[in-house]
Amino acid sequence: MRTTDVSAKNKNGESSRSYIADFKSLLKGKVLVLNVLPVIAGFWLALYYNDRSFADYWQLFVITFIGSLFVMAGALILNNWYDADIDAVMERTKHRPTVTGNMPLRKVLFGGLAVSVAGFILLSFTTVEVFIYSFIGWIVYVFLYTMWSKRRYTLNTVIGSVSGAVTPLIGWAAVDSAVHIVPITLFLIVFIWQMPHTFAIAIRKYEDYKAAGVAMLPVVHGMDITKRQMAVYSVCLLPLPFYLLSLGTAFIIIATLLNIGYIALAIRGFFVKDDEKWARIMFLYSVNYLMVLFLTMMLAAVPQFG
């Protein structure tokens, strides 16, 4: 009996850990973090530029943070639900619970919808602008990107980038109208950044996307045009920090150095023999680029706390 009890406990423990691991894979944790950070930065900068106190807005921050987190998580879960067929073909996604059957697709669908609705309900307690931007981001990601363009058009990357780019607008609009040069600049930074970032992923996972029939740029038009576009988009990032001169010289210097590094790495792609290895370095740089850039913004703009 005691052996049986221990065995049952071990199985239950393993089952719980497996379920948690499956749920985490649905949320695509790294993607979620990269999308939530601009929300926080947008809120933070809005307090700074409007001379507001965090103490007066901390409850609004919590609602905005959790609400936007839920909306994004819901969209990502629905992406997993819809893409279960192509995930089964790709090496990097074939172990997702929607493919293995650990989570029935029906439950994933209702789970994604429930999480999304919960997020929208929370955000309805903020401002109309916040709700509108979050709804646009959700609609673009779930319908225009996942269900419509991802498998058909190479412009899927441009379309999908809109959903990520609205995130700083969500954070800012919780405090003040996002019709302002700072949140618009943040929107452009995130939008443009996503292009070389996503293309780097597409090059790394070229065989996966090709096997699944996903219309990524390198699969449809080849490596050369993809590298050219990565270089062009990287250059387009260069002037954007100068619209944020009020954040100080230190920020401008750090942002410019980050951009020069991004451009140099993109240009290097024209001369490498191992495209996959270069794309991996490009991907890692792009992830750290966004995190360092937004954290530097936040350090340069400290709102009141009293």
4, burial (CB in 10 Å: exposed 0-12, middle 13-18, buried 19+):
exposed
**Which of 188, 181, 163, 183 has the alpha carbon at shortest distance from 173?**
183
Q: Give yes or no for residue 224 having a pLDDT over 50.
A: yes
Q: What letter represents residue 209's amino acid?
A: Y
Instruction: Please report whether residue 1 resides in a domain.
Output: no
Q: Give yes or no for residue 9 having a pLDDT over 60.
A: no
> What is the pLDDT at residue 26?
74
Instruction: Please report whether residue 7 resides in a domain.
Output: no
Worst-scoring range by mean pLDDT, 94-103, 135-144, 184-193, 204-213? 94-103
Query: In the predicted model, what is the mean pLDDT of residues 163-189?
Result: 97
Share of the chain above pLDDT 70, in %: 91
Q: Give yes or no for residue 12 having a pLDDT over 80.
A: no
Instruction: Please report whether residue 82 resides in a domain.
Output: yes
Instruction: Please report whether residue 208 resides in a domain.
Output: yes
* Reported pTM: 0.91
pLDDT band at 306 (very low <50, low <70, confident <90, very high): low
Q: How far is Cα 243 from Cα 95, in angstroms, rounded to an integer? A: 44
304 forms bridges with which residues in the sheet?
Answer: 53
CA distances, 43 to each of 16, 168, 173, 185, 267 (Å): 36, 8, 8, 14, 34
Highest mean pLDDT: which of 17-21, 94-98, 260-264? Answer: 260-264
Instruction: Please report whether residue 61 resides in a domain.
Output: yes
pLDDT band at 17 (very low <50, low <70, confident <90, very high): low
> What is the pLDDT at residue 5?
52
Provide φ and ψ at 95, rounded to 5°.
-100, 5
Instruction: Please report whether residue 89 resides in a domain.
Output: yes
DSSP states along 265-291:
HHHHTTT-S-HHHHHHHHHHHHHHHHH
Query: In the predicted model, what is the mean pLDDT of residues 151-165?
Result: 95
- DSSP assigned state of 48: H
13, burial (CB in 10 Å: exposed 0-12, middle 13-18, buried 19+):
exposed
pLDDT band at 184 (very low <50, low <70, confident <90, very high): very high
Owner of token pair 């954070």 = 171
Instruction: Please report whether residue 76 resides in a domain.
Output: yes
Q: What are the tens digits of pLDDT across the range 185-199?
A: 999 999 999 999 999
For residue 191, what are its two tokens? 């939008």
Domain that holds residue 292: 28-300
Instruction: Please report whether residue 142 resides in a domain.
Output: yes
Collapse the DSSP code of 53 into the 3-class scheme (helix H, G, I; strand E, B; otherwise coil) and give the result: strand
Q: How far is CA 174 from the centre of its chain?
A: 20
> What is the pLDDT at residue 89?
87
Q: What is the CATH number of the domain that holds 127?
A: 1.10.600
Collapse the DSSP code of 121 into the 3-class scheme (helix H, G, I; strand E, B; otherwise coil) and give the result: helix
Q: Give yes or no for residue 19 having a pLDDT over 90.
A: no
DSSP states along 201-255:
HHHHTHHHHHHHT---HHHHH-HHHHHHHHHHHHHHHTTGGGGGGGG-HHHHHHH
Q: What are the tens digits of pLDDT across the range 87-130?
A: 898 888 888 888 888 889 999 999 999 999 999 999 999 999 99
- Contact, 220 vs 151, CB < 8 A? no
Q: What are the tens digits of pLDDT across the range 41-79?
A: 999 999 999 999 999 999 999 999 999 999 999 999 999
- Contact, 166 vs 191, CB < 8 A? no
CA-based max dimension of the chain: 71
The radius of gyration computed from the CA coordinates of the chain, to the nearest angstrom, equals 21
Number of domains in the chain: 1
**Which of 143, 151, 159 has the alpha carbon at shortest distance from 213?**
151
